[in-house]
Structure 1
Amino acid sequence: MRKVGVLLMTWMLLLTVFPIGMALGAGTPSFTAESNVSRVTVGGDVKITIKGQNITDLYGYEVVLTYDAERLEFNKEQSNGSFEGYKVVQNAGNQVTFALTKMGNLAGESGNLSICTLAFKAKQSGSANVSLQQVTTVSSQLLPAVWQVSHQASIQIDASTPNPGTGTGTVTPTTPTKEDPTLYVPKGTEIRTEDGGASVTAVIDRERLVQKLSDLHASSNRDHPVLNIDIPGTGVLNAVELPLDILLNSLKDNKGTILTIHTYLGTYDLPLSILNQAGRDGSLDASATLIIRIDKAKNQHELQFDQSIAEKGMKRVSDMIDYKIILKSKDKEEEIHNFGNTFVTRVMQVDGVIQDPSKATAVVYDPITGEMHFVPSVFTLKDGKTEVTIIRNTNSMYAIVQNKKSFDDMAGHWAQKDVEDLASKMIINGTTDHTYTPEMQVTRAQFAALLVRGLGLPTETKAFGFTDVADTQWYASEVGTAAKYGLVDGVGEGKFNPDQLITREQMVVMMMKAVGLVQGTSANATSTKAPFADQDLVSDYARSAVADAVAKGLVQGKTETTFAPQDVATRAEAAVIIKRVLQDVNLIN
């Protein structure tokens, strides 16, 4: 207890001697306040987790935050720190002070940490804010530091149905507040927690889901109505179980319905149409369940991943999240890995702020093979932190990494930024570690491979029936994938001509098919003529694609008056076009 007393005295002296606003100590830690829910009804629980990044030797701490006392009620008993120790909690007016210290000669905590979780109950409808004001940290050597923080978590509180009252006399009836048809908040009876709250499962009630989907479809005139399902808590293992037959029946009312699952780890948008695309054979029984899992990857997988990317000069800046969709019946479970031509979005959180999205990307990771590949991802800044929207047509294990790549022979080149941006995202490779060779010409197989990588498509194992593409060729899987998704056609007689140099018009045809794949449309131009003097040299099969690409601003002429459709494309031109396409369909910033 002597060390505890010394620590508390140190805090008191520190806060007395040094004026508020002064930051002491070295290092660059940062702190955030994050809510487990974005929306809740009156009477619902709200958990605010205080997180610290770049923390070193944390033995004790004090956090100070303010909250909307009109709409939130602090719950001292349900508020806890991240480690065992001596705890002091004060709640005065709209300010909470939470202090915790270890006891004895123990080492401090380091890394990116969840420091403590403070519990509140929603008591009045409206928008409520919880603001982290200050964090005081003390090391195991009793070295203190005060950090002024300005980070806020916002919660929308929806009204519950009012009580009409009791007793005699004149009572003015109140109109019951109608529930938000786009929001499903599981009741306590629908939530199952394990491992001290680390694992959270929401077993969705059949009758509530039927009513909610009916209300959603009745209130929405959108082609893609969205039902938001909030999973409470700060679990690192999250699951939602939904009755499959109810979901299939809802598709009859609206085939575009989307379920958006909100968890502590981020969000996941699931179009219900994938239930039709997944090739169901009708063998599932009436009690079958759809399970959506959003889990933090195992520590061993994160460690394995971190070691592999460190050798390449990369850095992971997010949790590694494992997404799964499972169909479960009485006697079997079937995981849906691939969603066909449907691109599904997920939102992940980044540790801190990504200043340059061109030097960061989402990646998909296979812990069995150790392979890592680019995944389409868009970075946005929200409430002082970076969110990453991942767009891909498969489930897997994902993480966000930072990477910076440059080439000696691209310095001052007109395509330098586009080439180095795509190389940093691992979409294109150099001809060596330090050279790109921008004027080298591109083959049909090489450009097909670039498109497949840029779209983040899962690759096939075979060449998809082309007689001149052997399975042993490096490009076999990419060409096969491009053919499967309709990005490429053969040249006749079952051949692809993989080593033939690609012309500018062939490149445009492939890229416009990629645009159509992502947008779910065909590349039909309003005009079949491009505004160039040599437009008659464009082949008949390419005219619509070229005109559409020019109209969208995705391609330009070789000169101001000529398109040069039969000219061979270079590696620099290919990189520029790939980047424009990915930006046009919102797959990268």
Structure 2
Amino acid sequence: MNRTTHVLLTGALTAGLLLGSVPGISQVPSAYAQTTLSVTADTNTIVAEGGYSSDGEALGGVPAFLTVADSQNRIIHADQLKTDTAGRYRFEWTMANDAPTGTYSVKVRIEGEERASTFSFTNSRTFDTFLPVALSPYRFTGELNAGQSQAVLYDKDNGLTISSAQGRSNVDVNLYTAQNAVRSAYSSDSSTNYLTISVPTRDLDAVVTVPGGVIRQMLTSYGEDAHLLVAAEAGSYDLPLAALEPSILTGVKEGANSDLTFSIRRLAANDAISYSINSQLNTLKATRVASPTEFAVTAHYNGQSIPIRDYGRNYVRYSIDLAGSKANHGGSYSALFRHPVNGELMTTPSALYQDYSGRGKLVISRPGNGIYAPINAFRTFDDINTPNRSYRELELLASRYVIRGRSETMFDLKGKITRAEFATLMIRALGLADKQGTSRFGDIPAATWYTDTVNIGASLGLINGYSSYAFGPHDNISREQMVTLLARGLQYVTERPYVDTVRVLGPVPKRDEISTWARDDMALAIQTGILVASDFQDFMWAGYTPQADATREEAGEMLYRLLAYLKLI
């Protein structure tokens, strides 16, 4: 019996669609998902909720995905969560008041199934620019720790000593006040794991010093999941303490005269780096939406000062305040990272956060500090500018400079993609292109366009060769090889979820043609939504086989789904 999904529309929705089972897929366990989608007119809130089961048994821990797209099928919001032990899930998201009036689509996807419907939206206010964030009682940080219980220090009366001169705020955190705040917050709510330091000035350059004793108290009270969040005018920095290299964390926690110093700085317009970045943005035809912002951390202990530039495989999050920037819904907001050695701008995982009042921030996820340039851009190609199943994902990746065309006007949807090309795509998309790496592959020459990215991928364990000495950079990548690389990318960023390979592959056509070494990764891709039902239909009706060469279209859409699962876009 095929799976069926019912979509029930209520509230301010203008249309409803009752959808049946996915055509063409047989031998699927009996399962269903019932989803309610609604828009509440006064708060513009979309709610999608339902349950998932198979043969009457609730399926808990299964990823569910939500996407909201505008009338041009440009994705404006994406989210994912896991069903609870009862197989239930619930999404809730508020449309920004200045979102354009029009018809929008909402899609929910679980294990390859996708159901959709539409709703109409009328904006209640019009914002030409993003609004500033109020200072009182402390800076809004919901883009990083929404709904999170936290201890907050936000003025001189509760632990901050502030001096401001020539556009810079120097902030010192009182050891005993901060320790008491951490202990008190945890005793009243044991789920607390954030200490937030909110800088109460409008200076675009802030330096915040946090004593090592505060770090020690956070680890004692909050445990390994402790987060230190510094919120300033130019941006905010969410540092999970576990991201620090263990010896550095121990040194700060236990060393003499120890502390962590955070620097969040908006680069001046006449800064030489700003000129270089602007020149590159002109070449890329990207619009700068805020001045480049630098995030830095230095650890001090036992007379040492250690600048921290890299967090290994630990992703930290930054946000850049877009107050005063034009709210442009015609393109994609993202950030480019300035390579610390060669100065080249590189794509980095990022997403626009905008709340109902018109505040806008760009949230960046990356395993390292540095300079980020917020941009808005829209790029498309003549051969993807028509409705097909992947064009909105490809446009979004192109607008973020993750993917490129064969030329300025043509993407070449059905063209093949080589192993070196896809490895480079994935390394760039995950924000890892500034890492260092080497390999023993004899067929990777020095100084080619793919040398660094292949070597980085090999060093990080993201790619393998045919042997220890042969990678085959110019060979076309097969679909199952590509899925395996995507699975490694997922496991690099987050914990690999449990997958029942036999159950998940049960309904997949040509499952017996999947190589033994790729079966677990193929099942993982299906469970996490990297592979969806429409891909299965291609397996059957278009001669799609796991060992056949992947196309550029398939590479782009599956890379997008990986980033969406990881919440990196």
In the TM superposition, what whole-angstrom CA distance separates every residue of 1:498-535 from its partner, at most 9, and x where no partner exists? Answer: 222211111111112222222x2025312345222311
> 1:298 corresponds to which letter in structure 2?
A
1:463 aligns with 2:443: no
Does structure 1 residue 378 correspond to structure 2 residue 351?
A: yes
Aligned mate of 2:410, from 432, 435, 440: 435
CA shift, 1:421, in A, is: 2.0
| Among candidates 175, 179, 204, match of residue 173 of structure 2 | 204
2:260 counterpart of 1:286: no
Structure 1 residues 263, 186: CA separation in 2 closer, same or farther (over 3 Å shift)?
same
Tell me how far 1:279 sits from its aligned partner.
5.5
Matched, 1:559 2:539: yes
Q: Distance in 2 between matches of 1:409 and 1:148?
A: 33
Alignment partners' CA distance in 1, 2:136 and 2:434? 42
- Output one character per residue of 1:342-391: Cα deviation in whole Å (capped at 9) or x when no partner: 11111112243544375331111247633101111111222213221111
Match of 1:326 among 275, 289, 298: 298
The answer (yes or no) to whether the contact 1:352–1:385 under 8 Å persists in 2 is: no
CA distance in 2, matches of 1:342, 1:261: 18
Instruction: Give 1:575's aligned residue.
Output: 556
Instruction: Find out whether 1:491 has 2:466 as its counterpart.
Output: yes
2:201 to 206, 210, 233: 233
C-alpha distance in 2, partners of 1:327/1:214? 23
Q: Is the 8 A contact 1:463 1:471 kept in 2?
A: no
2-structure distance, mates of 1:252, 1:149: 43
1:395 equivalent in structure 2: 369
From 213, 236, 255, the counterpart of 1:267: 236
Q: Secondary structure at the match of 1:408?
A: coil
CA distance in 2, matches of 1:367, 1:493: 30
* Structure 1 residues 483 and 218: CA distance shift in structure 2, 3 A: farther
SS of match in other structure, 2:261: strand
Task: Report the CA distance shift for 1:150/1:413 in structure 2 as closer, same or farther (over 3 A).
Answer: closer
- CA change 1:394–1:152 in 2 (3 A) is closer
Q: 2:518 aligns with which of 525, 534, 542?
A: 542
Q: How does 1:69-468 map to 2 (within 5 A)?
A: 157=137, 182-187=151-156, 190-196=160-166, 198-222=167-191, 225-248=193-216, 250-253=218-221, 254-277=223-246, 285-299=255-269, 300=271, 301-329=273-301, 331-350=303-322, 351-356=324-329, 359-366=332-339, 369-382=342-355, 383-412=357-386, 414=388, 415-468=390-443
Q: Does the Cα contact within 8 Å between 1:523 and 1:545 map onto a contact in 2?
A: no
**Residue 264 of structure 1: how far off its partner (Å):** 1.4
Match of 1:476 among 451, 459, 468: 451
**Matches of 1:327 and 1:149, distance apart in 2:** 37
Letter in 1 for 2:407: T
Q: Measure the CA separation in 2 of the matches of 1:357 and 1:380.
A: 16
- Work out the CA distance in 2 between the residues paired with 1:367 and 1:514: 23
| 2:319 alignment partner AA | V
* Equivalent position of 1:584 in the other structure: 565
Once the 2 structures are TM-superposed, how far is the Cα of residue 399 of structure 1 from its aligned partner?
A: 1.7
Give the direction of change, closer, same or farther, for the CA distance of 1:392–1:150 in structure 2 (3 Å limit). Answer: closer
CA gap of 1:199–1:445, structure 2 versus 1, over 3 A, is same
With structure 2 as the length reference, what TM-score do the two structures score? Answer: 0.67
Asked whether 1:527 is paired with 2:507, we answer: no
Q: Which runs of 5+ in 1 are unaligned?
A: 1-146, 159-179
Shift of 1:484: 3.0
1:437 maps to amino acid: D
Shift of 1:275: 2.7
Match of 2:321, as an amino acid?
A: Q
In structure 1, give the amino acid aligned to 2:165. D
CA contact (8 A) 2:402 2:425 kept: yes
Output aligned runs, 1:31-50, within 5 Å.
Answer: none
In structure 2, the partner of 1:167 is none
Q: Which whole-Å CA distance do the structure 1 matches of 2:251 and 2:194 have between them? A: 26
Q: Report the Cα distance in structure 1 between the residues aligned to 2:443 and 2:129, rounded to whole angstroms.
A: 62
SS in structure 2 at match of 1:578: helix
User: 1:400-422, CA deviations, whole angstroms, 9 ceiling, x for partnerless residues?
Assistant: 11222222333437343332321
* 8 A Cα contact 1:338 1:393, kept in partner: yes
Which amino acid in structure 2 is aligned with residue 549 of structure 1? Answer: A
> Residues 547 and 357 from structure 1, CA distance in 2 versus in 1: closer, same or farther, beyond 3 angstroms?
farther
8 Å CA contact retained: 1:364, 1:399 = yes
- 1:543 is matched by which residue type in structure 2? R
3-state SS in 1 of match to 2:260: strand
| RMSD between superposed Cα atoms in Å | 3.0
